Amino acid sequence: MRQRKNDTERNLRRSQNKQMRRHARTPCDENTHFAANRRLFEGKIVNLSAGGTYIQSKAQFFVGQNVVVAGPFADDQSEMKRQGKIVRLDAQGFAVRFLY
């Protein structure tokens, strides 16, 4: 019973977080290059929104770190660079909020 309550609470929080997003996420499967600390890294853009992106990468970073990401950010899907800040880390990669 307790596990079911915890699962329900977790699902409710996830739903509320999705509703709080300013920009809709779009699934993506684009290889990318990004720069941090004057070094170039490779990764894969997994999802993309007007406000940020999630990148799969084996590189190790920290929350708050600035990055420059190359990807399909233009209206015509041509590659351009966007500056951002890492806002979340997990075992597969990291989330970036774009700086305007």
Q: Is residue 41 part of a domain?
A: yes
Whether this prediction's pTM lies above 0.85 is answered by no
Contact (CB, 8 A) for 34 and 41:
yes
CATH number assigned to the domain comprising residue 32: 2.40.10.220
Residue 99, pLDDT above cutoff 70? yes
> How many residues comprise the chain?
100
More confident of the two residues 77 and 11: 77
Largest Cα separation within the chain, whole Å, is: 51
65-85 average pLDDT score: 85
Q: Is residue 1 part of a domain?
A: no
Domain, as residue range, for 75: 23-98
Q: Give pLDDT tens digits for 14-60.
A: 544 554 556 677 888 889 999 999 999 999 999 998 899 999 999 99
Residue 22: φ, ψ to 5°: -80, -30
For the chain, how many structural domains are there in total?
1
User: What is the structure's pLDDT at 10?
Assistant: 58
Q: What tokens were used for 70? A: 């190359």
Q: How far apart are CA 53 and CA 44, in angstroms?
A: 10
